[in-house]
Structure 1
């Protein structure tokens, strides 16, 4: 029986971690996190498919998605510096909206996304290796080998993570920019398409706006710097700037990369191919493009996985400190001060869909778009947090304040809702996408309700006092 006077959550909350994080991450390391999580293989695939569907007109939804990304960057910057805790979105939301939205937002936007998007990343890497080097390695061995390797590396501490992430992000951006610029200047080893840009630049007309939902996927994830706020140097400057510079670099990189592909691959092939980045690299550089692609694919997947295994466990760590998740997530390794149980948990849920899906190319788009729904829901809650906290604590000092408040939040919420509505690129995929996302989110909601009512013994939608959260 649970003692009605003393909840398990309050008892567990008295168990403090063995050590507090130290500030080790500067602007360069945080910028690498912001870029490295976003520019993934999934982004490489979806952006080329968008360019195939809309041609040069894809720059319209890409630009709109960039401005939508700036709205969530501003909201996360304000919240992260107002409530600088590793729990990130869960800590912000429990103060703004209550425990149920806090748990739902964090699990939907990050833990569920890890299940879907990281699994898709590993599947893509395995498929690319199999395409370039058929029969050389057993199926799925690359996916699981990379997952195990980066799990072990993240167990060794934040210093090693930062050095790895900076190198991976730099190589990845250079490779993608090189592909785009080589194609646009006609410097490839193969001839460019003579008709590439001579026809209607925007064949979809106003219908191109429906691709904002696809384009926004190219910018989600820069906020992964926020769970690292307690390990950041000069967070008041470096947290906002790392995200803003990150989405700016991403916009330029994706734009050049997508436009470059139109010079060498017919639009209809880009739109329909499961591995359009493979078509682009080989059309541009011939056989030499295969090695180039393997480098790009490997650095993109490793960078995304490395960032996720650093940031998501720290979100779970913060939730455990808040009493919103299993207390085991608070456990830190004595030598490296890493949340080792949380790291292993994220690795496990990432590997499970890979095992279930196998090497099915058709599963990748479904996984990515289901993840997009969950992520956009988290962004909507983030914008609502800013609005709620501006009302509850209007006079509180904020190291970063959203310019033109509340316009970015209102536009961000509207844009995310529209993006969810148009998330499916075809009617055939709509049911599967929403069923997959809905089933997982429904399960998360049920678990959250049971945890809050039976373990935490707290109301679902009553916000916690800010002073209490900051004192933890």
Structure 2
């Protein structure tokens, strides 16, 4: 099949890449994890955020390097396919892609569950949170069906709004607006002083897992590379600027709010019923600072953040499925043909969008625990970052003539990025490897089995399938 005949439309720029990364990362669940980190470690969590930001900056560079070299929609799938050949290459590609797809669905479902809690609280409704989860997913699907540019504009508007509220609450804390107490750096110091980097209560063990989640997802802009007008310029700049904006926003909001009262006060508030017993501390903070108005602002910001995240996730993950199907590797002829189809008007992979929406909905329908869903997805999500670094190095040594985003000097940074990510995984999930590692292993085994079936079915496809796939051309 001539894959060049089935293509997405190039309409995006640097701003869209940056928005895609930030909109997915700056989610309602990051308010939950950020406040949990600040209320536990105080100043120590700032250090954890800087460390996590540096690790993710290296990831952004490797991701940009690959997306410039291979500006295609499937990201990890396309990188695997180009680096490994033959039947084994096809199997590795589909396995890595499906493993990423399934586990990331858990992480995003945790975010959607957090947004569902916020939306339920906003309307003071007795209706189950599952209904609000469904509303968010449907609202995220609509702009994706209309087109990638429309989805980008929706994400941008939501991003401006939710970042504005986060910065507002940070400034409110520093300036003493509302019912916030006088800001003091002493309030940021835990009992016994700022903890060290290591040890049971250390910054790395306690804070790094939460801090990493504040940045996880920045690489989602890579899935849109095929729709970016100038990947060589837009991908590196968009991804790296995104990391800096996220770091500045997390520190501004967290330090501004936390410094207005002792950590013990915030810990009690975060565990209260008003904070959904830890699942929505931002709502209790809004209520504390500005009463009903503050509560409403935080609830709207949380819902907007969730909608932005869901919109970008559906856009990126649906294009992952589209890339696999475009090569005829998604469960044989019928399914590949359906998922490789692009709507003639919107240039969007309709089937992939709808299936992704289902995968993002089901976990949050079966479990409302935000932290559990987030950490289950984050475990494999962060492991995939090691793959980005390794692939970046393999692509350079392969020297296939494609032009990377950075010079040879970046090889050392990719090595540092891979090692630091492995160390971060070990410490961030220390004590939880047996829990999340087992879940990850189960999902990896399931993904591998599905990949084997998918590739075997693809090899049996009939010649006329090639014709059917080529008919999915957007003229």
- Provide the rounded CA distance (Å) in 1 between the counterparts of 2:438 and 2:255: 33
Aligned-pair CA distance for 1:117: 1.9
Aligned-pair CA distance for 1:280: 2.3
Aligned-pair CA distance for 1:347: 0.6
Aligned-pair CA distance for 1:128: 2.1
1:151 to 111, 136, 141: 141
Question: Residues 404 and 396 of structure 1: is their aligned pair in 2 closer, same or farther, counting only changes over 3 Å?
Answer: same
Question: Residues 19 and 335 of structure 1: is their aligned pair in 2 closer, same or farther, counting only changes over 3 Å?
Answer: farther
Match of 2:371 in 1: 365
2:195 to 188, 191, 203: 203
Match of 1:244 in 2: 240
Match of 2:159 in 1: 169
1:338 to 342, 348, 362: 348
CA contact (8 A) 1:264 1:283 kept: no
- Provide the rounded CA distance (Å) in 2 between the counterparts of 1:266 and 1:275: 19
Aligned-pair CA distance for 1:137: 4.4
CA contact (8 A) 1:366 1:432 kept: no
CA contact (8 A) 2:42 2:189 kept: no
CA contact (8 A) 2:118 2:300 kept: no
Question: Residues 265 and 443 of structure 1: is their aligned pair in 2 closer, same or farther, counting only changes over 3 Å?
Answer: farther
Question: Residues 134 and 414 of structure 1: is their aligned pair in 2 closer, same or farther, counting only changes over 3 Å?
Answer: same
1:306 to 311, 317, 321: 311
- Provide the rounded CA distance (Å) in 2 between the counterparts of 1:190 and 1:214: 25
Aligned-pair CA distance for 1:383: 0.9
Match of 1:23 in 2: 10
The 5 Å alignment of 1:9-408 reads 13=1, 20-97=7-84, 98-114=89-105, 116-135=106-125, 137-192=127-182, 196-197=187-188, 202-204=194-196, 206=198, 207-210=202-205, 211-264=207-260, 266-268=262-264, 269-270=266-267, 273-326=278-331, 327=336, 328-357=338-367, 360=368, 363-393=369-399, 396-401=401-406, 404-408=409-413
Question: Residues 256 and 129 of structure 1: is their aligned pair in 2 closer, same or farther, counting only changes over 3 Å?
Answer: same
Aligned-pair CA distance for 1:44: 1.2
- Provide the rounded CA distance (Å) in 1 between the counterparts of 2:297 and 2:407: 41
Query: Are 2:462 and 1:452 equivalent residues in the alignment?
Result: no
CA contact (8 A) 1:35 1:250 kept: yes
- Provide the rounded CA distance (Å) in 1 between the counterparts of 2:208 and 2:123: 35
- CA RMSD in angstroms, aligned pairs only: 2.4
Please give the secondary structure, in 2, of the residue aligned with 1:196. Answer: helix
Deviates more, 1:87-96 or 1:319-328: 319-328
CA contact (8 A) 2:175 2:183 kept: no
Aligned-pair CA distance for 1:258: 1.4
Aligned-pair CA distance for 1:56: 0.7
CA contact (8 A) 2:144 2:314 kept: yes
Once the two structures are superposed, what CA deviation does each residue of 1:239-283 show, in whole Å capped at 9, x if it has no partner? 111101111100100111111231245434447533222232222
- Provide the rounded CA distance (Å) in 1 between the counterparts of 2:433 and 2:178: 38
Once the two structures are superposed, what CA deviation does each residue of 1:112-171 show, in whole Å capped at 9, x if it has no partner? 212x12221221122223334433645422210121122132111123112211111111
| Number of aligned residues | 436
Q: Please report the TM-score for the alignment, with normalisation by the length of structure 1.
A: 0.85
CA contact (8 A) 1:369 1:423 kept: no
Aligned-pair CA distance for 1:208: 0.9
Aligned-pair CA distance for 1:397: 4.3
Question: Residues 205 and 216 of structure 1: is their aligned pair in 2 closer, same or farther, counting only changes over 3 Å?
Answer: closer
Off by >6 Å, runs of 4+ in structure 1: none
Deviates more, 1:207-216 or 1:197-206: 197-206
Once the two structures are superposed, what CA deviation does each residue of 1:337-363 show, in whole Å capped at 9, x if it has no partner? 210010011011111112222xx3xx2
Aligned-pair CA distance for 1:368: 0.3
Please give the secondary structure, in 1, of the residue aligned with 2:229. Answer: coil
Q: Please report the TM-score for the alignment, with normalisation by the length of structure 2.
A: 0.85
- Provide the rounded CA distance (Å) in 1 between the counterparts of 2:363 and 2:197: 38
Aligned-pair CA distance for 1:185: 2.2
- Provide the rounded CA distance (Å) in 2 between the counterparts of 1:352 and 1:17: 34
Question: Residues 386 and 279 of structure 1: is their aligned pair in 2 closer, same or farther, counting only changes over 3 Å?
Answer: same
CA contact (8 A) 1:93 1:382 kept: no
Match of 2:472 in 1: none
In the alignment, structure 2 segments of 5+ residues that lack a partner are 272-277, 461-475
Once the two structures are superposed, what CA deviation does each residue of 1:261-314 show, in whole Å capped at 9, x if it has no partner? 312454344475332222322222222211111121011101000101111111
- Provide the rounded CA distance (Å) in 1 between the counterparts of 2:429 and 2:163: 28
Aligned-pair CA distance for 1:230: 1.9
Question: Residues 173 and 18 of structure 1: is their aligned pair in 2 closer, same or farther, counting only changes over 3 Å?
Answer: same
